[in-house]
Structure formats: structure tokens, C-alpha cells
Structure 1
Amino acid sequence: MIPELDGAMWHKSSYSGSANNCVERGILPTGRQAVRDTKDRERGALLFEPSAWQAFVDAVRGGAFDS
């Protein structure tokens, strides 16, 4: 496990259901963002620099991934 993840404040996706079919976002003490699978937390997490995370959020909000 990445030591940086120990201090993460994790938040479950607002789209998650009772079956834990979702992802969690962690805000790390360093300012980086982490994303992990709620069902398999031991598998680790993807880490993002703040600018990369903000670009992703902006793209989602802007409809870049809408089908």
C-alpha cells in the first residue's frame, strides 16, 4: 500500500448503491486525488495530480464523456 493513502479522506460516489458498486475518491494530505474501487480497496488506487483531476472534473461537467 502507498503510505500517502493512509491519510486520505475517502468519499463514496453519490451514484453508489447499497451493493457497493461504486468508486471512492480520496483527498490526500499532499493535495493529490486518489480513486479506488469500493469492492476491492486492497487492490490500490489511481493517483492524480490536482491539475489532472481538475481537468477530468471539468471535462465531465462539460459533457465530454456523455454518450
Structure 2
Amino acid sequence: MQNEWILDVLADLRTFARQNGLAELAEQIDDTRLVAAAELTSKSTPAREGTTGYERATATAARTDLGRPRTRP
């Protein structure tokens, strides 16, 4: 994926939000990162029969910190 930089930008924004007490915004950015990963994956990975964009995004998330469980402050 040549556009993975957007995931890094979103990670930086999420970190900023958490460090500044913006927990809800941080969670929304987590959701946005999942959507971005799904879209980037769907554009760069040919679909295998029987898989969905969500499944491909989940595989991408497993390789990054996207797959970690959420915690609320």
C-alpha cells in the first residue's frame, strides 16, 4: 500500500487526542483508521473469493496496532 502514510497521520492525531484528554475523539480516530485500512486494502488487494473488505482490513489491522482492544479512561 503506497498510501499507508495516512494511517501514520491518523495515529499521530489519535496520540494527540489521548494526551490532551480527548478520549471520544481518540476513539473516533480509531474507527477512522479501521475504515482507512479497509479502503486502502480493498484498493490494493484483489479480493479473494469468499472474503470481504472487512476481512482484508482485519488482516491489515492485525499487522498494526489497530487490532488492540480498546480501553476507556
Normalised TM-score (structure 2): 0.24
With structure 1 as the length reference, what TM-score do the two structures score? 0.25
Kindly indicate which of the two structures has a greater share of residues assigned to helix. Answer: 2
Query: Structure 1 or 2: larger strand share?
Result: 1
